[in-house]
Amino acid sequence: MEKRNNNTLVGMTAFGAIFFIFGFATTFIIQLSAPVMAVFNLTEFQAQLLTSAFFIAYPIMSVPTGWLVNRIGYKYTVVAGLILMALGSLIFIPAARIPSYPLFLGATFVLAIGVVFLQVSANPYVTALGPEKSASSRLNLTQALNSIATMIAPWLIATVIFKGLNLPLQATETEQVNYGLEVAARIPFPFIAMALLVILVAIVLLMIKLPDIVAGNTEKGGKVFKYPHVMLGALGIFCYVGAEAGNAGLMTNYLREGSLALSAEEAATYAAIYWGGAMVGRFFGSIMFSEMPSNKKYLYSSLVLVLAFVSGAFVTEWNWVIGAIFTGASVINFIFMMIGKGQPARTLAIFALMAGLLGLITTFTQGHVALWTVVSIGLFNSIMFPNIFALAVKDLRGGELASASGVINSLILGGAVIPPIMGSIADNYGYTYAYIVPALCYLYIFFYAIKGSLIRRAA
């Protein structure tokens, strides 16, 4: 029993680091659309193609990656993913120096293939690493670690790329060119740091022994297409990832051009709070979906609120008022988490309704109300991916589990489809109306939570 617990601890530690890495990479690319838009003077639709170049890797590579896991195992698939991430990161250096938008898209795609390797390997590994009844808790914990990185990424964009730069909304062509060149010169540094980090982690993984998780075989895996709850769950992932990426990808420019007319640096810090909401909510989820005593749940949740207060203030250069507002929104999120009673489907349904409502309020309001409603969507995005995934792979084992993960992760394609749709709406009708699209996505997730996840057999 002690050996099994030690193996679980080693495995969770290693994959916690993996979730952190691909969380940072994913969010950094999503938020990079605003700097890239400035560098190449693109429309919002064109800028969101960067996000599409990232997420299009999922339908292309997810199922083959599931087969690869069955062939070489989780550990070596993860190492291969880290190497590809390093390669993609290094390609961004010439892409920014030239600068070349097609090369940006190519670098993004290579980086994304590495992330797909990690994503397909990590989620089923964490699910299978312990008892099924606590799988949702473990996934929420690793997603919380993922979300620490997702909060850091837009903060780095604000401080490393946009710091001290300000482009007037009615800028001249010369001002736009000079601004774009300065932004381009600042882009390579984060990617150099990312490349060094992932290479280091790959070396460490090769040196340590991870617990063995049996992947099974591809013959059994083919049956997952007969399970409606798997396929409907995959569509839920499509809607969730598309909504989350679209909300975030447009947020910086939405806040710049909205009634508050924030600078790019200020807008990017609020994007960091949006992702910080996902972090806070996932920590809440890890706690509330666990089997720990109620008194400990409330104690740890209090510590999460402290984290919300400090992190909200930190990313806004120690603005404690914003930290307090973010903490208040986190308290409301925790109340809804309690109403969910630790039940994944019930909590998912509640959070989907709240996220959809916040999206609609964002559409039909402005000023500070719209700012905080769009930022608070992150809190209610928090538990969606791990809970949809846990509901979609429930009762699966071995090869079916790996293959289902491949199918589900292929529908992360939503991140390639929804943001350009929102970008096109923003270009033609204004940013606020673009937020109707994710609201519709959350409506489907509500359906999956209350009905779709219960359909266990094909008709």
Q: Is the dihedral of CA 31, 32, 33, 38 positive or negative?
A: positive
Nearest to 120 by CA among 405, 413, 395, 398: 405
Domain of residue 432: give its range.
Answer: 2-454
pLDDT on residue 291: 77
User: Does 271 reside within a domain?
Assistant: yes
User: Does 264 reside within a domain?
Assistant: yes
| The two structure tokens encoding residue 431 | 């940013």
Please state the domain count of the chain: 1
- What is the distance between the alpha carbons of residues 459 and 457, in angstroms, rounded to a whole number? 6
C-alpha dist (Å) from residue 324 to 41, 311, 314, 337 = 36, 10, 12, 20
Prediction pTM value = 0.84
pLDDT on residue 362: 93
pLDDT on residue 157: 87
Please name the helix (run of DSSP H) or strand (run of DSSP E) that holds residue 196, with its range, or none. helix 188-207
CB-based contacts of 301: which residues, under 8 Å, 6+ apart?
Answer: 284, 287, 288, 334
The tens-digit pLDDT sequence of the chain (459 residues) is 444 555 566 667 777 778 888 888 989 999 999 889 888 889 999 999 999 999 999 889 877 887 888 888 888 898 999 999 999 999 999 999 998 999 999 999 999 999 989 887 877 777 766 666 666 667 767 766 777 888 888 898 888 888 877 766 666 777 777 888 888 889 999 899 999 988 988 888 888 776 666 555 544 445 777 888 899 999 999 999 999 999 999 999 999 887 788 888 899 899 999 999 988 998 888 788 777 888 888 999 999 999 999 999 999 989 999 999 999 999 999 999 999 987 889 999 999 999 999 999 999 998 999 999 999 999 999 889 888 988 998 877 666 777 787 788 789 899 999 999 999 999 999 999 999 999 999 999 999 999 988 887 644
User: Does 459 reside within a domain?
Assistant: no
CATH, residue 211: 1.20.1250.20
